[in-house]
Amino acid sequence: MKDAKGQVLYVGKANNLKKRVASYFRSSERLPAKTVALLGRVHNIDTIITGTEKEALILEAAQIKQYRPRYNVILRDDKNYPLIKVTVDETWPRVVMTRRRGHDGARYFGPYVSAAAMWTVLRMLRKVFPLRRCKGREVQERVRPCLDFQMQGCMAPCAGQVDTGVYQDMVASVIAFLEGKSRALLDHLEQAMRQASASLDFEAAALCRDQIAAIQATLERQVVAAGHRRDQDTFGYVRQDVSIGLAVLQVRKGVLMGQQTFYLPQPLGDDPEIMAQALEVFYAEGQVIPAEILVPFAPVAEAALREVLSEKRGLGVTIHVPRRGDGMRLLAMARQNAAEIFVEREKRDRSWQALAGEMTRLLHLKRLPARIECLDISNLGAEQTVGSLVCFINGEADKGQYRHYRLKSTTGPDDYRMMEEVLRRRFAVDRAAGVLPDLLLVDGGKGQLNIARRLLDDAGLAKEIDLLAIAKEREGEGDRIFAPGRKNPFPFKRHAPVLLFLMRIRDEAHRFGVTFHRRLRGKQAMGSALDNIPGLGPVRKKALLLAFGSVRGIGKASTEELAGVAGIGPELARQIHDHLQVNSLS
């Protein structure tokens, strides 16, 4: 379903599309409010016919991932959970923490919902299995090992201190532990300890003994969830009016590793359809698929969904509705966690309403500040000036609404003119769509406040938008809040909740601007004289740098030497030579 601009609003599937589409066009009194809102925007319906239900399922998941339609189930999680990565694709593998699951041949374990638990496991692994920690895919050969080797934290493959077979055995032990095969690993280490002891290799036996003790100590702290050794994901599902709370408990080898929770404000469809879509989306995001998935009720197209997940996993996957035993206990636990989402949201909403009311009263605002935007200018002289605008909705950062503005019309470090340019661009773009803040917060003092007030007056928005400025603390004073028509700042104490909240928004705007500014400066610093030569792409640049070692070396080379590099012909060689000569003279 698309709107008048062709934007995808909703993607759905059905064995009988005629019946499915017709179900949306019943009396509006019989339809949920969200469906009525969707139909008010639908301008066109496109259909694609697939050969099987399985193909429809795959296509639906792909299009939801591609278009992120507003009315589909999108599992947004506030957290980016850490993973443990074993770089088995390298000659001398490493164990590292990452937050992105790549398609690079490495093994990934997690996600770990508790970062503290992940770091505990990682520290234990590094202590028990001293694999290299140095960065880079390849090991740089050294005459003497680094300090890690002296502290018994690395086996120094860089200095030839360890055999490849011994190192790979240790990597296999790390993977076995992370896969949950701790009992088999302990048996292996105990056997190795006995053999080393019988051979009078007491140093190796002591190492095995320490490894066994560390692993046992780690296992004692894990939470046993079931009386079996299977891998399971358990989905808890709670509906409250039109909203859904979803919790996923992840059990590996009978051990509860953690959970993920999601809040779905107004998903379209009935419960079995929403559950099916949630499973599609959850396992489309690179999650590890277990052998068994426990759900409170059967999703629609269960057979096709099971087939798709089995193909992704490479082994069979069952989707099961438990009726008794450990499965029911896990399901109850998952449901309790899903219900807790609404409790936490209610607490957060009450807290925000209290804070918003206090802000409205103390700052004499015309309305509750449901949408707050804050502007910050980040510049380094006149170069690469950046305006950053952050947005908070009901007290929470909405990063999808953040905006960067690269300023070009302003010359010199003139904060007032820079702020004027950003605000003109901001309200010129979004005013027509009716997306306006309730409160605009600018970083600065009275000067910045007056610029913003004049611009709002010129745009006819002064009565629609409240305006404040926040100035950084001076010696002996805290941060100060200024408002139009008020001579002195508001008399807030240093730890007043309203002041701390506005400082948090200002600091987020500053962080957002500085991060982008740093990225721009890094891009400029990493640029080279080769970047502006027509016909010289990344592959040819790499070939030149490998041949001559640096841009300076390329600049010293003759046209004939340049033409001798693979992919560089006489004409391009002449252009490179002339370009670098001109640059060196300038």
End-to-end CA distance of the chain: 58
pLDDT(294) > 90: yes
- What does the DSSP assignment read for 201-246? -HHHHHHHHHHHHHHHHHHHTSEE--SS---EEEEEEEEETTEEEE
pLDDT (average), residues 360-382: 85
CA angle 428, 434, 438 (to 5 degrees): 95
CB-count exposure of residue 377 (10 Å: 0-12, 13-18, 19+): buried
Among 122-131, 239-248, 549-558, 572-581, the range with the most confident prediction by mean pLDDT is 239-248
Look at residue 525 in the predicted model and tell me its pLDDT.
46
Summarised one tens digit per residue, pLDDT across range 11-70 is 988 888 888 888 887 776 777 777 888 888 899 998 888 888 888 888 888 888 888 888
Answer yes or no: are the C-beta atoms of 390 and 470 closer than 8 Å: no
pLDDT(380) > 60: no
Q: Which CATH number is 538-585's, of 3.30.390.30, 1.10.150.20, 3.30.360.10, 2.60.120.330?
A: 1.10.150.20
Look at residue 501 in the predicted model and tell me its pLDDT.
94
Out of 50-54, 58-62, 137-141, 220-224, which region has the weakest mean confidence (pLDDT)?
Answer: 220-224
pLDDT(484) > 50: yes
Q: Confidence band (pLDDT; 50, 70, 90) for 355? A: very high
Look at residue 108 in the predicted model and tell me its pLDDT.
83
Summarised one tens digit per residue, pLDDT across range 498-543 is 999 999 999 999 888 887 766 666 555 445 567 777 778 778 888 8
Distance of CA 227 to the CA centre of its chain: 34
Answer yes or no: are the C-beta atoms of 461 and 431 closer than 8 Å: yes
Look at residue 534 in the predicted model and tell me its pLDDT.
77
Answer yes or no: are the C-beta atoms of 102 and 73 closer than 8 Å: no
Give 353-383 as a 3 state SS string.
HHHHHHHHHHCCCCCCCCEEEEEEEEEECCE
Amino acid at 535: G
Joined together, the tokens standing for residue 551 give: 């841009």
pLDDT(354) > 90: yes
CATH 1.10.150.20 domain range(s) in the chain: 538-585
Residue % of the chain over a pLDDT of 90: 21
Among 227-236, 382-391, 491-500, the range with the most confident prediction by mean pLDDT is 491-500
CATH 3.30.420.340 domain range(s) in the chain: 371-524
pLDDT(383) > 50: yes
pLDDT(433) > 80: no
Return the half-sphere exposure (C-beta side, CA atoms, 13 A cut-off) of residue 93. Answer: 24
Q: Confidence band (pLDDT; 50, 70, 90) for 584? A: low
Considering only the top CATH level, what class is 232-341? Answer: alpha beta
Q: Confidence band (pLDDT; 50, 70, 90) for 493? A: confident
User: Who wins on pLDDT, 484 or 35?
Assistant: 484
What is the DSSP-derived secondary structure letter of residue 63?
H
Residue % of the chain over a pLDDT of 70: 85
Summarised one tens digit per residue, pLDDT across range 460-483 is 888 889 999 998 876 556 789 999
pLDDT (average), residues 282-297: 85
pLDDT(432) > 70: no
Summarised one tens digit per residue, pLDDT across range 144-193 is 888 888 887 888 888 888 888 889 988 988 888 777 666 666 777 788 88
Q: Confidence band (pLDDT; 50, 70, 90) for 218? A: low
Find, among 149, 214, 203, 132, the residue nearest to 177 by Cα.
214
Out of 79-83, 123-127, 157-161, 363-367, which region has the weakest mean confidence (pLDDT)?
Answer: 79-83
Answer yes or no: are the C-beta atoms of 103 and 140 closer than 8 Å: no
pLDDT (average), residues 278-307: 88
Considering only the top CATH level, what class is 371-524? Answer: alpha beta
Look at residue 586 in the predicted model and tell me its pLDDT.
46
User: Who wins on pLDDT, 188 or 269?
Assistant: 269
pLDDT (average), residues 285-313: 88
Question: How many angstroms separate the CA atoms of 333 and 233, rounded?
Answer: 12
Distance of CA 382 to the CA centre of its chain: 33
pLDDT(216) > 80: no
Among 33-42, 340-349, 428-437, the range with the most confident prediction by mean pLDDT is 340-349
Report in angstroms the alpha-carbon separations of 451 from 262, 404, 509. Answer: 42, 20, 19
- What does the DSSP assignment read for 118-150? HHHHHHHHHHHS-----SSSSPPP-SS--HHHH
pLDDT (average), residues 304-308: 91
Find, among 243, 274, 455, the residue nearest to 349 by Cα.
243
Look at residue 585 in the predicted model and tell me its pLDDT.
46
pLDDT (average), residues 203-213: 80
Look at residue 239 in the predicted model and tell me its pLDDT.
93
Question: How many angstroms separate the CA atoms of 492 and 217, rounded?
Answer: 50
Cα pseudo-dihedral 102, 59, 77, 254, rounded to 10: -70
CATH 3.30.420.10 domain range(s) in the chain: 232-341
Look at residue 226 in the predicted model and tell me its pLDDT.
54
pLDDT(301) > 70: yes
Look at residue 526 in the predicted model and tell me its pLDDT.
44
Look at residue 507 in the predicted model and tell me its pLDDT.
92
pLDDT(220) > 60: no
Residues forming a β-bridge with 396? 393
Q: Does an H or E element contain 524, and which?
A: helix 497-526
Per-residue burial over 69-98, b if 16 or more Cβ lie within 10 Å, else e, is bbbbbbbeeeeeebbbbbbeebebbbbeee
Joined together, the tokens standing for residue 6 give: 């062709």
Q: Confidence band (pLDDT; 50, 70, 90) for 128? A: confident
The mean pLDDT value of the chain amounts to: 82
pLDDT (average), residues 437-465: 88
Answer yes or no: are the C-beta atoms of 405 and 425 closer than 8 Å: yes
